[in-house]
């Protein structure tokens, strides 16, 4: 084979290999988990579960991952004690595994997600653009993620027990509260609540102004169901 032809073939082959490698690089279109880069702007009022899911879907679509069904990791409380009208966050996010926009697997199953083996931390809980989210030591602090959930991903009891979901994600006033978790697994102590990703402490209220003092911005987790 003539030298120039041979070199041309090698160059073409190299281009194909590089293109193949580039196409295999993980990106937002491949993600199945992210933290919202922005909230609703109304604190704990997300428009209910439906509104929160739409927010996840909209952000995923803008990032190139809108072909999946997305759900917010949020629980809702029953209308009254022992009533069946509650939703567990863990039951609405699919079966996994889930990976972030950089390709890092954060959990392989629902059980793995709610165990000590999950891979959720400051470096892996990225937003839909593949960017880091401000942690406890950064300004503004945005490490409080709305969940309304207990550590195992289940809902809190309904009335007369305290509101932990800002009226099932419809309140934006000073009353009520929402349970949050720390995406960076960091807090003022090493206590389990301080390092929990999904059940650390409640907000001071449901307005954006009452969500921020404890370190939040009304952000939450989104998971691809399929």
Average pLDDT over residues 136-164: 97
45: left (phi over 0), alpha (psi -120 to 50) or beta: beta
C-alpha span between 221 and 63 (Å, rounded): 15
pLDDT recorded at residue 28: 79
**For 5, phi and psi rounded to 5 degrees?**
-65, -45
Cα atoms in the Cβ-side hemisphere of radius 13 Å centred on 102: 10
Average pLDDT over residues 90-105: 97
Cross-strand bridge partners of residue 178: 165
Q: Which one is predicted more confidently, 188 or 202? A: 202
pTM of the model: 0.88
Mean pLDDT of the chain: 91
Which burial class, exposed, middle or buried, applies to 139 when counting CB atoms under 10 A from its CB (0-12, 13-18, 19+)?
exposed
224 and 68 Cβ atoms separated by less than 8 Å? yes
pLDDT recorded at residue 21: 44
Q: Where are the domains of the chain?
A: 31-224
CA separation, residue 138 to residues 7, 8, 34, 142, 175 (Å): 52, 52, 20, 8, 28
Q: What is the pLDDT of residues 151-174, one digit of tens each?
A: 999 999 999 999 999 999 999 999
126 and 35 Cβ atoms separated by less than 8 Å? yes
Q: Which one is predicted more confidently, 198 or 24? A: 198
Query: What percentage of the chain has pLDDT greater than the value 90?
Result: 84
Q: What is the pLDDT of residues 50-93, one digit of tens each?
A: 999 999 999 999 999 999 999 999 999 999 998 999 999 999 99
CATH architecture of the domain with range 31-224: Roll (3.10)
Please enumerate in sequence order all residues whose Cβ is within 8 A of that of 21, keeping only pairs 6 or more positions apart, or say none: none
């Amino acid at each position: 084979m003539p030298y120039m032809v041979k070199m041309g073939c090698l160059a073409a082959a190299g281009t194909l290999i590089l293109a193949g490698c580039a196409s295999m690089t993980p990106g937002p279109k491949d993600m199945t988990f992210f933290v919202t880069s922005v909230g609703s702007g109304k604190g704990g009022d997300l428009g209910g579960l439906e509104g929160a899911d739409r927010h996840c879907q909209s952000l995923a679509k803008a990032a190139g991952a809108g072909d999946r069904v997305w759900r917010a990791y949020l629980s809702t409380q029953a209308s009254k004690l022992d009533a069946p009208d509650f939703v567990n966050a863990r039951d609405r996010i699919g079966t996994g595994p889930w990976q972030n926009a950089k390709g890092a697997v954060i959990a392989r199953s629902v059980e793995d997600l709610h165990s000590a083996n999950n891979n959720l931390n400051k470096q892996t809980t990225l937003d839909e653009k593949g960017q880091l989210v401000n942690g406890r030591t950064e300004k503004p602090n945005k490490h409080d993620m709305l969940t309304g959930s207990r550590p195992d991903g289940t809902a809190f009891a309904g009335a007369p027990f305290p509101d932990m979901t800002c009226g099932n994600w419809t309140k934006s006033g000073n009353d009520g509260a929402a349970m949050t978790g720390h995406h960076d697994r960091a807090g003022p102590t090493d206590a389990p609540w301080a390092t929990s990703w999904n059940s650390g402490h409640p907000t001071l209220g449901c307005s954006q102004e009452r969500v921020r003092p404890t370190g939040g911005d009304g952000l939450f987790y989104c998971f691809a169901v399929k």
